[in-house]
Structure 1
Amino acid sequence: MVTARSARFTESTRGRLRRINLITSLPPVVFAALLLLYLDSRTWWHALVLAPGVVAALVAFERWTADDLARVALPCLVVAAAVWPVGALVTGSPNAWWGVCAVGSLALREVRRRVLAAVALLAYVAAVGATRLLVERDDVRQVLVAYVLVPAALTVVVTLMTVVGERFYDLIRELEQTREREAELAVVRERFRFASDLHDIQGHTLHVVKLKIALAQKLLVRDTVRAEKELRETYALVSDTIAQTKELAHAQRRLNLTAEIENAKNLFEAAGIRVRVTREGEVDSRVGELLGQVLRETTTNILRHAQATQVQITLSASGITIVNDGATGDEPTELSGLSVLGQRVADDGGELTVRQQDGRFRTAATFPTAHAGTPSTMGRDDR
């Protein structure tokens, strides 16, 4: 079963690959199409006859980048295939084969017997080119070169380049999907860590409660005072566990900022994201716990909502700043976890700011310098 998250990742991967294809390949394809049209069109009606082949090739290429070629492959192939014999027999256009070659090479991915289809495409281009001999017999050698050998050779080259391009983008697609699976796995690990923390809080407590209740049962007859003491301690222990569980649920459990930075770095690296950590100063332990919560929440948000490739974490004497690329959309996503933390930071005299600009997302939690401890160590950890 494909989860909604996996579907979102797949759509995101397709979008990025489509943009790569359009940016890198569409301009030269359009240039080649217009150049060939210019070279072969000696009158306006020549251009009118040859234009459908060019349009069919461009439509097929655009749909190929969108992974939607199957829907238009046959109509585009029919149009482009019809232009080539008209160009060879009527307009005398030796480059009219380009449309059927472009569409045919792209459409190979839609058929099972690709080798047979490629041979058929080559044979069609050469055979139609040879029909030029029916209307032009003065220079047989020139006709064979211009209408048969050159189109056939270039068809082979274009087909091979298309196949290689397909393999290249398949590799990119696999790498993107692997990266996204790593990011999803990192989120799962974070959830497992939460479950582990919950187990640490409740597992030990429940075991102790069980022992104390068993002891109280034994003491009810011979030592009621001690039994009452054991029950009071059990009640206090359960109350404390409930409080710790609530703190954990709201990401308020005491955190070690250094450990959180290391954990965030490990999570990002596991997801294939380059991370750079800069320590310009140190903060006191009370502020450090809150900054650790901000870092943990931001780390989870980056892994869940962004398509990040780089993350910069900067710790200063006045707070922490996390900047990542890969932000989607024009407006910052509503992040409920950061909203709750923003109120807690404000209650403690600080400020939490979230800003998105030019595909970069910046989360910063700052406190007045009075909260900052004197930096005992200064360092930088770049990775």
Structure 2
Amino acid sequence: MSGCAQLMWDEAVTGYDFGRGHPMDPVRLALTRSLVGALGLDRQVRLVSAEPAGESTLRLVHRLDYIEAVRTASADPAAADPAYGLGTVDDPAFAGMHEVSALIAGQSVGAAEAVWRGDALHAVNFTGGLHHAMPGAASGFCVYNDAALAIARLLELGAERVAYVDVDVHHGDGVQAAFWEDPRVLTVSLHEHPRTLFPQTGWPQETGADSAEGSAVNVALPAGTGDAGWLRAFHAIVPELLADFRPQVLVTQHGADTHFEDPLAHLAVSLDAQRAVQAACHDLAHEHAEGRWVALGGGGYAVVEVVPRSWTHLVGIAAGRPVDPETVIPESWRQEVYARTRQLGPLRMTDGRWPVPWAAWEAGYDPADRLDQAILATRRAAFPLRGLLP
């Protein structure tokens, strides 16, 4: 197996644009790619552009009638059918929507294929992670579910155990739904509690269908959870599950919207904690999946201050060239930020919280603490179904 890392990129992905004023501003993708280059990380990876996902690939997850509805809306946005989640406030139709959505999906599928076939050990598609799209509907800014499609392609290629870990602030509902009845796929989502955030799913009691009990695991974090609690929850849940499941490939989704500056959610996580979880996912892939790691982007709506730095850290970790948090960001990139957005870009690759302290679950827990209650609720609901102690 090659030890190289692969970065999926095609400039055309920036056409995934719901229009002026929509939170999913494609400038976040362009600025991330630019920062990767400004720090020289694009010389440490193999840059690859995959073909758009074709109909046969899209149908691994999505219904044919839905694909046809996306094509119709793509050709004529005025004809978008809200019954398919299209032409809504969250998912406005736009010209070329099918083509660019299929292109993003193709990058994630291509990343999965490269890792499975041994062309790369790690593959990153930060333009992906569109985890809310359902088999028959768009949802939550997501048209085609590239994460689920990548996993489905791995299964089609012969994988028998694929683990999916989602640390976006929103529940990874579309991926969970796609594999609800499939014990070959373990989905783990850490997200803000459904009482306070879209999509109002991801309760600890959601553990998979009868045919796949324990294959879905959900950690519903209290609003306001910060670095120490977020890392504590991740390490209290994810490593033990992966050690038990023994995935052949680890697919992770790294939405940057857990950040304290994100305008659409209510967690208080720093860039430094996000980097720590990215590094932990890398290490877990080596511990439990022979290093096979497909890393995706996701949400993130602080499009200048947070997203480019977070996903650039992800690329650096995957490339084996992790970026020192104290790294000063090149002035050329900050000038590009101002030219594109009229905002001032960040100065360093840290929020000033590195290294992030946190307390391990094994050291004991406080039954009166809301975060510990959330962790314990997940362990009690899901762990016994996998033969693990809560």
With the length of structure 2 as denominator, give the TM-score of the two structures. 0.23
Higher relative CO (Cα under 8 Å, sequence separation at least 6) belongs to 2
Looking at CA atoms only, which structure, 1 or 2, has the larger radius of gyration? Answer: 1
Q: Greater helix share, 1 or 2?
A: 1
